[in-house]
Amino acid sequence: MKTSLVAVIATTLLTLSAQAKPKYAATTTRLVDSTDYVRKSPAPDFWALIPHYVPQGENMCQTATMVMVFNALRNHEALDSETKNITQQDLWNRVNDPKWKKAMKEKKCYGLDQFADVVRRALEIYFKDRKFEVRVEHVDSTDAAAATRVVTDLKQNEASDQDFIIANFDQAVFTGESEPAGHISAVGAYDAAQKRVLVLDVDREWYTPYWVPEAEFLKGLATGDAHIKGKNRGYLVVSPKK
């Protein structure tokens, strides 16, 4: 009887281990395995965002990413002793958008255009004396023209910590999961020499920051959302208003 129980447990463990897959896609590299770029290059966005790298709550990748970017935008402000870092709860309360909250709770998160409107409103709430613009870029293709547009924005964005890219992508492309998973996270860096993008994935219960090749990044962006008809995912560029 004892032997048979042991055999059952062993078989179960073997089955479970046979089902488990690598945590990341073969083309994805964890930041901990490749730190040269952020140590040897200025990597302004990485250093602006990483002090504020927070984990998302359930389905709350949008709020977690906004909190990171908003805190990073305040990095150089002379904050007083009464000013707390922006938290997800604080953002939640101050934006106070019941439809947005409901959408996230029901796993029907806002698409890029609606999300951009939330980001714009929130920027006005948090930055009374500074003006920002939020540019929406849907990525409808992985062709050369789309790649050029994305790389141009990545390069521009990598030049300063005054602007940030918020990517909206299918996380499964970067993790190798079989089911698509619409997701939002900030771009932490762009390594032009190695043509790769650092994603500060806020899904920290499962992942740590990772590099994806430019081509995979593009593939992740150029995906459709089941409940957002007609437009692919893509990214937002948050920058000071000119």
Could you list the residues that contact Ca ion (CB under 5 A)?
45, 157, 163
What six digits make up the tokens of 101?
Answer: 């909250």
Q: Which is nearer to Ca ion, 49 or 118 (CB)?
A: 49
Q: Closest approach of Cβ 71 to Ca ion, in Å?
A: 14
Task: State how far the Cα of 120 lies from the Cα of 139, in Å rounded to an integer.
Answer: 20
Nearest-approach distance from CB 160 to Ca ion, in angstroms = 5
Nearer to Ca ion, 199 or 228 (CB): 199
Please state the separation of Cα 171 from the chain's center in Å: 9
- Which one, 109 or 200, has the nearer CB to Ca ion? 200
CA–CA gap between residue 211 and residue 38 (Å, rounded): 11
CB nearer to Ca ion: pick between 65 and 223 = 65
Radius of gyration, CA atoms only, the chain: 20
| CB of 34 vs Ca ion, minimal distance in Å | 20
| Residue 46 beta carbon to Ca ion: minimum distance, rounded to whole angstroms | 10
CA-CA distance, 212 to 233, in Å (whole number)? Answer: 17
Distance CA 80, CA 224 (A): 43
